[in-house]
Chain A
Amino acid sequence: MSLRTMRAVMALAGATLLTTALAACGGSGDGGSGGGGKTLRVFIGANTQYPTQQQAWEKSIGDQFKTQTGATIQWETFASGSEELTKIQTSVVSGTGPDVYAIGTTFTPTAYATKAFVTLGDAEWQKIGGKDKFIQSSLGISGPDPQHQIGIPWVARPFVMIYNTELLKAAGITKPATTWDELTQQAKQLTKPGQYGLAVAYKDNFDPWKFIWGMATQAGDPIVDGKTARITDPAVKKAYQTYFGWVTTDKVVDPAAVGWTNPQALAAFAKGKTGYFALTSTTAANTLDASAVKGKWAFTLLPTVPPGATSRPAGGVEAASILSGDNLVVADYSKNKDLALQYVKLVTDGPAQLDMYKIFGQLPQNAASAQSLTSDPKLAPIVEAQNKSVSTPFTGAWADIQLALTNTVVQSIPDLAGGSVPDAKLDSLLAAAQKTAQSSLDRAK
């Protein structure tokens, strides 16, 4: 009877489905790829500047790893600071997630505070090739002190400015700016119809807070003072005002920049009609050399004198850049710790490190590889920036603070687009950020 057959068919279909679901329930990464091999899960930032190259790189590393260890790598990427943080937090809390994380150096303190990552002892350093393999100053953000380190330096991105040598020469500027005021001044000189003095990425998820931190730290406000957040300090307000002012009052930035991410701002600079590109690193080199400004650009240090001053005040730090880059951390809950360390060794060895530079422009943290690159005169400002890099405060609350500083910019975007950020609004946003930051600091254990 048709009803009976229909029922039978449905029952069979249902049973098959459920069995498939049952059989396919293994999602936690061991032996998931249907062979004898294991799977290593790696969490890295999505390279939005070079997406296709990143896919190629992932494949190449994956192949090398497979040949070396027989295990496959499964990649997971994040595209924003909040995604990064959410993933770290939820994985730590649920005890399941990626085995190796490549996180921003500024997030290392937050990762450390969760106490869920492997503290690197002698055995671990040995397995990845020894502590001496790395640039020693970079270890400053690996942990609160040398005995408690979780972060393995992977790549560095010291932040610098890029300027268009032709445009500056045409405007009669002999030396790139060394103070923020001078930068604004020069940008005004460089701004004329069809040309802008400065390219800034207001909508980027990772850029804006670095300006604020830089200007504030140079003025003597490290944002976090012990257990107190100092976001409502005048130095921070001045930093935001300067940062917003470029597009609202000084008008040295293309109004479209309000919607730019870093790659988009770089693309604008690459057209050859902008004087300075405010926050970038060696990652821009490949893009620029394939564009209209090839041969016409150079690196220079970011200004180290806070806005409103001609020289650094007492207590101000000569912070040319944050201690920037990516650290690798291994999760404590991982069942593949040895595999993880092998992966770390693979990507911190010479060849892989040089590849990171050649393809993506990220500076190696492998001391030998870095040494071989410093002979390039173009990189002199980069080396200087690296030497003058200052680490962001090492507190578990830093990720929240960084996001709060970024959020202040996010909430101001509409006003920026409209032409001005009212003082009162900025004050209230800063007060909100202060509150978030302080409560985060209070709870940080």
Chain B
Amino acid sequence: MTASASAAQVRKADRRVGRRTAAGEAHRLLPRPLLVIITVFLCALVVVPLAYILLASLNSDVGVAGGEFWPSTFSGASYARIWTTADLSTGLVNSLIVCASVAVASAALGTVTAYVLVRYTFVGRVTILRALVGLQSIPGTLMLLPVFVLFSSAGNYLGITVIGTRWGLFIAYLTFALPFSTWVMVTYLRGLPRELEEAGRVDGASTLVVLFRIIVPLSLPAIVVSGIFAFLLGWNDVLFASVLTQPETRTAAVALQVFGTTQEAGALPVYSQMMAAALVCAAPVVLLYLVFQRYLVGGLTAGGVK
């Protein structure tokens, strides 16, 4: 796929261009003033709302409701209040547990499946590959319905409560995390040279050994990326979580959304707390991005879907 091939060259190209700044005139794409204008405009587009969010979270509820951009008084009170008013801690913990489990399971199974798909040929291989891509685009609402019906039946007929447990959410998230992780691994494993594996085989190693001793260490970055993407898919989800959770298994997304609608019906707007809560919910994701930036950028274009 062009995008992934090209994106992975980003790092390489960066170095190339950096070394040739003197000769970079030939590479200039836009006249400087235009460049500056567009860059400033785009940065403002992104940074101004973000700055407001941050500032509002450090303001008081009354101040934000009064329409202040720059707070008249800075206070961290909102950050303290959200833990009780929005029950954010439960939400964050649940999100962490479910998403981390999904990440681990997805990455592990995805790697194994991708390895077979990439290295061996068999009937239906291409169909499976195409299906992996297609499955990522299935509307969530289409999957939620039968999942809900199945889980309810498990509760009604077999007496196994699934709805409202973290297990239920875990299984539901695997629905879209698995194809995605597998696909990311497929894209990556394609580029892995075969010499090392062949060397291993010549030495008489079995497939499993090859897999665990050679492939996995080599593709750790990709495994981490596919795990992180699975984590992100779960973290961002609102659809499944809104239906399949109870208050104690609520994820951060649902906690934030419920907080918003409940507070809006009240007499006093709590905008500052909303902003603070939103930032807290976004923090793990932004952190992951900052740490794994290089890999994620490549993976984003490889996977192609958020």
Contacts and interface: CB of A to CB of B under 8 A. Distances in A.
Given A26-B165, A27-B166, A77-B262, A94 B248 contact: no
Interface stretch (A259-267, A370-378, A437-445): A259-267
A33 to B, nearest CB: 9
Contact of A263 (B108, B167, B170, B267): B267
B146 to A, nearest CB: 13
B101 A21 contact: yes
Chief secondary structure at chain A's binding surface: mixed
Nearest to B167: A25
A18 interface: yes
Interface residues of A, number: 41
Interface in B252-301: 258, 261-262, 264-267
Nearest to A267: B267
A74 interface: yes
A263 B267 CA distance: 5
B166 A25 contact: yes
B92 interface: no
Nearest to A92: B152
A204 B265 CA distance: 7
B217 interface: yes
A96 B98 contact: no
B247 A76 contact: yes
A18 B155 CA distance: 23
Interface string A19-33: 011001111110010
Interface in B113-140: none
B189 interface: no
B176 interface: no
Contacts of B267: 48-49, 261, 263-264, 266-267
Contacts of A292: none
27 contacts: A3-B217, A17-B100, A17-B101, A18-B104, A20-B97, A21-B97, A21-B101, A21-B167, A21-B170, A24-B97, A25-B165, A27-B248, A48-B267, A49-B267, A55-B84, A76-B247, A77-B262, A79-B261, A79-B265, A80-B261, A94-B148, A94-B151, A94-B155, A204-B265, A261-B266, A263-B266, A266-B267
Given A21-B167, A21-B170, 8 more contacts: A17-B97, A18-B104, A25-B167, A27-B249, A48-B265, A55-B84, A94-B156, A263-B265
Q: Which 7 A-B pairs have the closest CB atoms?
A: A263-B267, A48-B266, A27-B249, A94-B152, A27-B165, A21-B101, A14-B104
